[in-house]
Amino acid sequence: MTMKDSFSSPTSCWTGPLFIVGMPRSGTKLLRGLLGQHQRIRIPSIETDFLPFLLRRVRAQGQPERPESFASLFQELRRAPYFMLRPGGAAAFDWREWREHCDGRYDAAGLFEGFVRYETGSGVHTNYIWGDKSPAYTRHVATLLEHFPQARVVHILRDVRDYCVSVNKAWHKDMRRAAHGWARDVERAHRVCHSQPQRCIEIKYEDLLQSPEAVMRRLTTFLGVEPADASMLSLARPVEARGDAAGRTEIMRDNFSKFAERLTTRQIRAIEALAFDTMQLVGYRPIHAAGQQHLGAFEQRMLRLKDGASLLAHGARKQGLASTLRFHLGHARLVG
């Protein structure tokens, strides 16, 4: 039996799902690109983001068991950003094929698995490990573990100071709000992962850059697949279109601690103060802040409006205002 044949035979080992989560601009694309080169791992090249929508939709309207109800579900889902980002050269999406890949399971978990298996060509009842990489699911790790009893989660963390520099450079986001969101979402994901070490693993972006061999060995051991080899230590193709790693296929081993040269002492102190407790919880050391501070509810709302305006302005210059509005409203509706 050939290696290819063994993957298409009935499952005899863990086949997923594998969820890669982490804050945006924290190395999730790099990690997906490296793990996706393993011969057994299949992850879509586009973030799904719509699992919360599937959960709400099935809860409210029941399982789409009949073809008509499944087609109706697809009509709602096709407005998702996923389909706006799907490559134009890809084969037309056929909801009937998606339905076949659900293998008679029409709860939210079955719908989602069928979708990913269809889109990645994993098939049904194969030994391919199916998975997903969506930063938005950092806020939903407990939900992932609840609805997918076999799920394994990889949570990648990045120093909040570099994270703030990166999101500000990529989308002009306010660094105070970024630090506040990092502290909230990273703490939530970390506590869930820490409570279920058999199903979750956490790695640091900085460790992946400096010691990729050790980190990839740790991950392949956790996933129960063949050890990482040289093919998993660089990218087959660039995965990043923004930031210092844009267009690169090699791992940039020095792409960390950039905040020290790009931020003022005052900016570093403000970021650290808003993320102080979570930084210490997950092993990052504040260097200027002396304790935790908080953003008030009014300031959070104002900064959210500011970030929203920046995202619209940034997107409108490239895709036009109408397309940008549809994209972000669709994302907010689906992610919840």
**What are the tens digits of pLDDT across the range 89-113?**
788 999 999 999 999 999 999 999 9
Instruction: Specify the 3-state DSSP secondary structure of 225.
Output: coil
Which pLDDT does position 309 carry in this prediction?
A: 86
Query: What does pLDDT average to over the chain?
Result: 90
Mean of pLDDT values over 73-79 = 93
Which pLDDT does position 61 carry in this prediction?
A: 96
With 60 as the cut, is the pLDDT of residue 256 above it? yes
With 80 as the cut, is the pLDDT of residue 272 above it? yes
Higher-pLDDT residue of 61, 12: 61
Long-range Cβ contact pairs of 79-87 (< 8 A, separation 24 or more): 79/326, 79/330, 80/49, 80/50, 80/53, 80/330, 80/331, 80/334, 81/49, 81/327, 81/330, 81/331, 81/334, 82/46, 82/47, 82/48, 82/49, 82/50, 84/323, 84/326, 84/327, 84/330, 85/46, 86/46
**Distance between CA atoms of residues 185 and 140, nearest Å:** 9
With 90 as the cut, is the pLDDT of residue 213 above it? yes
pLDDT band at 285; cut points 50, 70, 90? very high
Mean of pLDDT values over 295-302 = 94
Sign of CA dihedral 51, 52, 58, 61: negative
Q: Worst-scoring range by mean pLDDT, 65-74, 222-231, 280-289?
A: 222-231
Q: How many other CB atoms are there within 10 angstroms of residue 212's CB atom?
A: 18
**Distance between CA atoms of residues 124 and 103, nearest Å:** 7
Instruction: Report whether 38 contacts 232 (CB < 8 A).
Output: yes
Which tokens belong to 87? 């490559």
Mean of pLDDT values over 243-261 = 82
Return the bridge partners of 153, or none: 19, 200
Which pLDDT does position 2 carry in this prediction?
A: 31
